[in-house]
Chain A
Amino acid sequence: ETGVTQSPTHLIKTRGQQVTLRCSSQSGHNTVSWYQQALGQGPQFIFQYYREEENGRGNFPPRFSGLQFPNYSSELNVNALELDDSALYLCASSYNRGRSSPLHFGNGTRLTVT
């Protein structure tokens, strides 16, 4: 069983640029969630996708957007990068949406904005 994989592992961008992060969900999982983790903090919920539709969104501006594809893989796009966007971005998949399906996380993408 393949776990959640994310690419790239590290990325350095300049303020104002755009970035796309990718995530392949664990086999059999139809729900993908994205989290942002700043240094020394717990992960913060960005949004969740269930069967290609956005199922919920956290307190992040519209320049954070996402997609989920028919194979349940997902992308996170961030436009007009700001210095505060520097963080570890974590993708998690689950068997289904809802509380009874635990999230399984990938190893994350470390984004540095200079």
Chain B
Amino acid sequence: SQELEQSPQSLIVQEGKNLTINCTSSKTLYGLYWYKQKYGEGLIFLMMLQKGGEEKSHEKITAKLDEKKQQSSLHITASQPSHAGIYLCGADLASGYALNFGKGTSLLVTP
């Protein structure tokens, strides 16, 4: 079974709309990372969250970590076509060196 579940699996939003992607873990989170991937390319690091209640923002993207609920959310405000891609959450689930990843959320932003 998947240790990190992402929802939704895919998302189509109109340009200018807000959206939220969720990442839920079946185990205790020791650090949560958000990445963006263009199709067939490498992962681009967005944000790292390490403490429960932590919230970080970069441009129009905000990520929060709810450690007690073992989940994180990624919120995009006023989406743009440049936000399109696959968003992946990765977490250290106790190894100290390996990240487990969700399957990703595919985002398409239409004009």
Contacts and interface: CB of A to CB of B under 8 A. Distances in A.
Interface of A: 4, 6, 33, 40-45, 48, 55-56, 58, 88, 90, 92, 97-100, 102-108, 110
Given A42-B88, A107-B41, A48 B97 contact: yes
Nearest to A91: B42
A53 to B, nearest CB: 12
A58 B98 CA distance: 8
19 contacts: A4-B42, A6-B42, A33-B97, A40-B103, A42-B4, A42-B88, A42-B102, A43-B43, A45-B99, A58-B98, A92-B43, A97-B96, A99-B31, A103-B33, A103-B90, A105-B45, A107-B42, A108-B42, A110-B40
Given A33-B98, A103-B43, 11 more contacts: A33-B97, A42-B100, A48-B98, A90-B42, A97-B96, A99-B31, A99-B50, A103-B45, A108-B41, A108-B42, A110-B40
A48 B96 CA distance: 11
Interface in B54-94: 88, 90, 92
Which of B42, B92, B103 gathers most chain A CB within 10 Å? B42
A92 B35 CA distance: 12
B42 A97 contact: no
Given A42-B4, A99-B92, A105 B97 contact: no
